[in-house]
Amino acid sequence: MTYAKTDEALARLTPEEFRVTQKNGTERPYTGKFDNHFEPGIYVDVVSGEPLFGSSSKFNSGCGWPAFATPIEPANVAELRDATLGMVRIEVRSAHGDSHLGHVFNDGPRDMGGLRYCINSASLRFVPLDQMEAEGYGDYIDQAGA
For residues 43 and 56, the answer to whether their CB atoms sit within 8 Å is no
Q: CA of 137: how far to CAs of 44, 106, 133, 146, in Å?
A: 10, 29, 5, 14
- Give catalytic status of residue 118 as yes or no: yes
Say how far residue 72 (Cα) sits from the centre of its chain. Answer: 10
Measure CA of the first residue to CA of the last residue in the chain; give whole Å.
Answer: 23
Q: Of the residues 13, 95, 118, 132, which is catalytic?
A: 118
For residues 95 and 77, the answer to whether their CB atoms sit within 8 Å is yes
Active site residues: 118
